[in-house]
């Protein structure tokens, strides 16, 4: 699924383009550039790419630990791997910069989106009201049953209870809803959050889902500036 804008593009991968890290298919290129991938660790840490010469030959794929990448340089392709976690793209059209975020539930309760917004503000003087946000495919509350550890962490937030629902003996978590509320509290305009690509990975057989398939296959989300 490709989203094109005048100055940036986003590719939301499906199972058809999936692969098993750390081997990146040689054919995986956008504008001749291979996406840069992190060793994702469900943290609130990440990287800022501040050199336009960065490509796969200058980057240790799946070695640098973190869960978000930021850049203001064109043709640097930022990649995130998921299989139920939420890919979040942030785009600042005024400052011409992008961020790609891997938001699982652990990173979400560690406020990874707020850490990224703080980095954008500190390093680039970016304002949350200028940002566009795109949610990629992820687990949805229709299928995402959760246990006591997650429930305890989520309910520490003022809006946490609103992101949980119950059905008989199971509790379900609204991962995109949690991150949406976090972003709004941080100053993102609700109308700037695009969820049209946020299909459920668990009940959609075209998507990779660790919950459903219990394997190492992952789809990717890539974003780059033109």
Tell me: the pLDDT tens digits for 149-189? 999 999 999 999 999 999 989 999 999 999 999 999 999 99
- Determine the Cα–Cα distance for residues 127 and 130; give it in Å rounded to an integer: 6
Q: For residue 7, give its domain range.
A: 2-225
Partnered with residue 39 across adjacent β-strands are 65
In the chain, which stretches have pLDDT less than 70?
Answer: 52-53, 55-56
The answer for residues whose C-beta is within 8 angstroms of residue 25's C-beta and 6 or more apart is 19
Three-state DSSP state, 153: helix
**pLDDT given for residue 173 in this prediction:** 98
**pLDDT given for residue 52 in this prediction:** 67
Structural domains of the chain, count: 1
**pLDDT given for residue 184 in this prediction:** 98
Contact 171, 186 (CB under 8 A): no
**pLDDT given for residue 51 in this prediction:** 77
- Determine the Cα–Cα distance for residues 114 and 28; give it in Å rounded to an integer: 30
- CA distances, 62 to each of 9, 41, 120 (Å): 23, 11, 23
- Determine the Cα–Cα distance for residues 70 and 91; give it in Å rounded to an integer: 10
Domain CATH code at residue 164: 3.60.140.10
């Amino acid at each position: 699924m490709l989203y094109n804008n005048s100055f940036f593009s986003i590719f939301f991968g499906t199972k058809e383009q999936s692969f098993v890290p750390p081997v990146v298919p040689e054919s995986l290129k956008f504008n001749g550039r291979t996406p840069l991938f992190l060793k994702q660790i469900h943290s609130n840490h990440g990287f800022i790419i501040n050199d336009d010469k960065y490509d796969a030959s200058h980057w240790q794929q799946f070695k640098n630990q973190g869960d978000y990448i930021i850049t203001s340089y064109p043709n640097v392709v930022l990649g995130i791997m998921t299989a139920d976690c939420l890919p979040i793209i942030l785009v600042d059209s005024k400052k011409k910069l992008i961020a790609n975020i891997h938001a699982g539930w652990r990173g979400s309760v560690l406020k990874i989106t707020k850490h990224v917004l703080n980095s954008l503000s500190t390093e680039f003087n970016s304002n949350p009201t200028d940002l566009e946000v795109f949610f990629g495919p992820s687990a949805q509350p229709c299928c995402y049953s959760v246990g006591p550890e997650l429930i305890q962490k989520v309910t520490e937030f003022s809006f946490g209870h609103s992101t949980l629902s119950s059905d008989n003996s199971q509790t379900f978590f609204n991962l995109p809803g949690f991150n949406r509320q976090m972003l709004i509290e941080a100053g993102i305009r609700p109308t700037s959050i695009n969820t049209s690509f946020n299909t459920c990975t668990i009940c959609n057989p075209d998507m990779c889902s660790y919950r459903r398939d219990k394997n190492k296959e992952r789809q990717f989300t890539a974003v780059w500036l033109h």
